Amino acid sequence: MSKTLHSDEVVSNVFLFMIAGYETTSTALAYCTYILATKLDIQDKLIKEIHEIKWNNYNNEDIYDIATNLRSLDLFVREVLRMYPITSKGQIRKCNQTTNISGYIIEKDSIIQPDIFSIHYNPNLWGPEDPNLFIPERHEIKRHPIAWMPFGVGPRHCIGMKFALMELKMCLIQLLRQYRILPGDNIEQGFKRQEKIVIQPDAIYVKFEKHSI
Ligand code: HEM
């Protein structure tokens, strides 16, 4: 195999990074704002955690470490991605040899797609609290290693995972340092999700109110 990337490989990889790296994170941020606007107690907890840090006293490397380790923010982002996974079609695999898994025969060339919603909402994996409820603290308990798979699993899991988590956290920190996110009109009606390139909401309406201090 050639060790050099040809121009068509460079172009297709740049295209993949644009698709995989943009719509995913921005959609996840939309879900984050929905939860923040509808669960103000959770938002207040995050604002308190973020406001306790003297951000201006740190350089960029310190900020990276601090943002990664904000406990409530980390649990919040994990719970958003559990309840609102961004893609399921993105995790398709093709079976390259007939395989027996726990008595199920998977024929060569079969296409396999995990049902991420059944996994992320499975009470045996995510209980004892109802998986339909938004409870960030459920991520404090050690779960099955692939109970949480918004970024896929295995050697071809999302290469941008760490970057995406950091991007999400930095955006939320910047937003919540300056604004309180409030429900917009008709937010109580919720939203419909459909899977196009990503599983996206039809619309989420929120308002931003600048902090007075
Ligand atoms: C919340 C944000 C994101 C989510 C939920 C997400 C999710 C995923 C998922 C589920 C896969 C398929 C994994 C599998 O087949 O097991 C994937 C692949 C990929 N993602 Fe992400 N992703 C996100 C952000 C990003 C970002 C920011 C980048 C790049 C900067 C990126 C680049 C990629 C690439 C290049 C692949 C293909 C990896 C491969 O085929 O080896 N993703 N992503």
* Count: domains in the chain: 1
Rg (CA), the chain: 20
Q: Check residue 35 and give its pLDDT.
A: 97
Q: Check residue 213 and give its pLDDT.
A: 62
Inside any domain, residue 195: yes
Look-up: residue for tokens 């929905």? 34
CATH code of the domain covering residue 142: 1.10.630.10
Inside any domain, residue 37: yes
Q: Which residues make Cβ contacts (< 8 Å) with residue 64, sequence separation at least 6?
A: 166
95 is in an annotated binding site: no
Given a contact cutoff of 8 angstroms between Cβ atoms, the answer to whether 85 and 118 are in contact is: no
Inside any domain, residue 118: yes
Given a contact cutoff of 8 angstroms between Cβ atoms, the answer to whether 106 and 99 are in contact is: yes
Inside any domain, residue 185: yes
Does this complex have an ipTM over 0.85? Answer: yes
Protein residue with its CA nearest to atom 21 in ligand 1: 158
Q: What lines the ligand 1 site, CB under 6 Å?
A: 16-17, 20-21, 24-25, 28, 86-87, 90-91, 150-154, 156-160, 163-164
Domain that holds residue 120: 8-210
- Number of the ligand 1 atom closest to the C-alpha atom of 93: 15
Inside any domain, residue 2: no
Single-letter amino acid, residue 42: I
Q: Check residue 61 and give its pLDDT.
A: 86
Inside any domain, residue 176: yes
Inside any domain, residue 180: yes
51-95 tens-digit pLDDT: 999 998 988 889 999 999 999 999 999 999 999 999 988 889 999
Give me the tens of pLDDT residue by residue for the chain, a chain 213 residues long.
678 889 999 999 898 888 888 899 999 999 999 999 999 999 999 999 999 999 989 888 899 999 999 999 999 999 999 999 999 888 899 999 999 999 999 999 999 999 999 999 999 999 999 999 999 999 999 999 999 999 999 999 999 999 999 999 999 999 999 999 999 988 888 899 998 889 999 999 999 999 886
Q: Which residues make Cβ contacts (< 8 Å) with residue 118, sequence separation at least 6?
A: none
Inside any domain, residue 1: no
